[in-house]
Structure 1
């Protein structure tokens, strides 16, 4: 079986160790000859890079391994780039969340003003990363799961339409895992129909391979418990704030009981509730900094002090198994069925062809082929049109340096109550992001 060369862009991310452990756990399915970490923050990457070097020397010594800040060294002779960059790191995520809350608006890293701020910071870095990849390994595929995926995928559609970039999110995968627990199945047993935008969609069918439909059973459960389950194996989404998010799904379901909702819809349907529940002094960013950030780097330092990973191993990022599935689909033409972010082009019959939608796709050597989801109802279609217009305006604002279009984007977002509030939030975000955003006129 062919062996592959991989670079993980965002090598200093707290997700990187879990992804590396997941890759090592799947070497029989996806053999690796070279694994590289790449980050523009040498200090942050070094601790994880050294610790993971010890892990690989013990678990997979045949894999050639390195970590680097040199783009040529990182991207020369690679087959896949796994991209999960965070422009501005957690210090800017904290501002993304706290600045909107100061104005009584949802503070969240991918939704509303915070997501817009993060998106504007990310576009330039993502385009630069694509250009580096194409310069040194023109046949490489980028599997991008950097947030905010909706804005990044729209920017790629405009700015690098012919690049080999696949945009995917782990949220549908994580929620499907919970659905499978509700009905006593495994995610691999199930095939779904789903339509929407990234972090903004609905499941319309959940069947097993024999064609048995489980949506009514799951719907009955969610109407009482949300997506909370008795079996908690989803290590990424275990914090209290995430538990509240899974629980809130029962209120999302009540709005339209026909379909099972993506949990992120809570920020659009119940923004007043979310703001009321939030602590403007201690947001999700602080949770991560004081939780996963400390845990991962503490494990890395322990490995370095002991000189071995034995007894102090990083957790496997089981939530990220979709990355291996996607890479295998491209490498081995497996025709894997996966929910991905793609240009609509008729997949949703009564929606704009140029919208970046999230739908099930069949993935093979040539990339994703969207599956037709038919005509969607007016309620969901109107919500999606409003949100996709926000995302398009953000990208237009970036390309044109337009203050006006960014103000319009914030005003149009369902998370923002008025144009005045939108302007107040925008002006504060401009000041906070002056080292990252293009100049807006």
Structure 2
């Protein structure tokens, strides 16, 4: 079995079109796959890296000019517009540009999946004396998400069974990230996609075995990450390594079935700030999942 992991947020080529819009190179209402993109895309330099859902645009330049200030101006404008209407009641889209604005102020890079990156950092958890702005993040609404996925799957089944016309799919749908990658692999198209892969030297100041979301060439042999000119900057380097350590310790705990290692994994997570809470969470989950966790005692 061969598999790959990915986030749909950096779906090529649409993600590069989005950056051209954020930079003000094309109007925001420019449709997908507009012919103008082809010429402009060749002038865009974009480097993205990080752990899945905690990825950052480390470099964005157009015709050699740094476009990060233009992206920041875009984010500032969108952050103000989020208050034009009542914010979404769902966790994922809620006030994202306001969180993004603060993360850009801190790190100088654009968080490409801020709807999840806001959950990776300790700043928006509601701890501390000063109030969180715009507000503490709300708990992820997994049940709503499950309902949305079930509804989407029902539509997919309708197309597969011939209950809905495929012409409707071609007119209203757009390329799915996973199927685009599979097609590129089978056809040896030489396309590039953002895929979770072992670093293998792509980001020079992170370990070769760090599992990162990177721009990769893809064929039937799997993804081959492309080397970045940028290094992970200080601040983000520490955050990224902390998340990677959490992952490594979690795997180690799973293999060894060792409670001390599992507790260490939890306490390495950036958003855990209390040893007692971590221990109680661990014990409650181990008890709740006991039927599926052989060998733990």
Deviation at 1:432, TM superposition (A): 2.3
Aligned to 1:261: 111
TM-score, with length taken from structure 2: 0.73
TM-score, with length taken from structure 1: 0.51
In the alignment, the residues of structure 2 paired with residue 193 and residue 399 of structure 1 have an alpha-carbon distance, to the nearest angstrom, of 35
- Number of residues paired by the alignment? 263
**Secondary structure in structure 1 of the residue aligned to 2:235:** helix
Aligned to 2:291: 435
Deviation at 1:392, TM superposition (A): 0.5
Deviation at 1:295, TM superposition (A): 6.6
Matched, 1:203 2:57: yes
Unaligned runs of 5+ in 1: 1-129, 131-163, 230-237
In the alignment, the residues of structure 1 paired with residue 15 and residue 79 of structure 2 have an alpha-carbon distance, to the nearest angstrom, of 11
Residue in structure 1 matching 2:163, options 308, 312, 315: 308
Aligned to 2:144: 287
Paired residues of 1:299 and 1:314 also in contact (CA < 8 A):
no
Aligned to 1:344: 199
Paired residues of 2:107 and 2:236 also in contact (CA < 8 A):
no
Aligned to 1:66: none
Higher relative CO (CA 8 A, sep ≥ 6), structure 1 or 2? 1
Counterpart mapping for 1:34-433 below 5 A? 130=1, 164-173=2-11, 178-182=18-22, 183=24, 184=26, 186=32, 189=38, 190=41, 192-206=46-60, 214-226=67-79, 240-244=90-94, 246-247=96-97, 248-257=99-108, 259-262=109-112, 263=114, 264-269=116-121, 270-273=123-126, 276-278=136-138, 283-294=140-151, 297=154, 308-309=163-164, 318=174, 321-373=176-228, 374-433=230-289
Aligned to 1:60: none
**Secondary structure in structure 1 of the residue aligned to 2:197:** strand
Deviations 1:315-363 (A, max 9, x none): 9663x53223312332222221221111112111111122112221222
In the alignment, the residues of structure 2 paired with residue 378 and residue 175 of structure 1 have an alpha-carbon distance, to the nearest angstrom, of 25
Deviations 1:267-312 (A, max 9, x none): 1333414994426xxx5112224545357548968x99xx83259x
In the alignment, the residues of structure 2 paired with residue 245 and residue 177 of structure 1 have an alpha-carbon distance, to the nearest angstrom, of 23
In the alignment, the residues of structure 2 paired with residue 227 and residue 338 of structure 1 have an alpha-carbon distance, to the nearest angstrom, of 32
In the alignment, the residues of structure 1 paired with residue 5 and residue 155 of structure 2 have an alpha-carbon distance, to the nearest angstrom, of 31
**Secondary structure in structure 2 of the residue aligned to 1:376:** coil
In the alignment, the residues of structure 2 paired with residue 379 and residue 295 of structure 1 have an alpha-carbon distance, to the nearest angstrom, of 38
* Structure showing the higher helix proportion among its residues: 1
In the alignment, the residues of structure 2 paired with residue 227 and residue 242 of structure 1 have an alpha-carbon distance, to the nearest angstrom, of 18
Aligned to 2:85: none
In the alignment, the residues of structure 2 paired with residue 323 and residue 361 of structure 1 have an alpha-carbon distance, to the nearest angstrom, of 14
Deviation at 1:265, TM superposition (A): 2.0
Paired residues of 2:118 and 2:137 also in contact (CA < 8 A):
no
Paired residues of 1:398 and 1:438 also in contact (CA < 8 A):
no
Unaligned runs of 5+ in 2: 83-87, 127-131
CA distance 1:365–1:309, change in 2 (3 Å):
closer
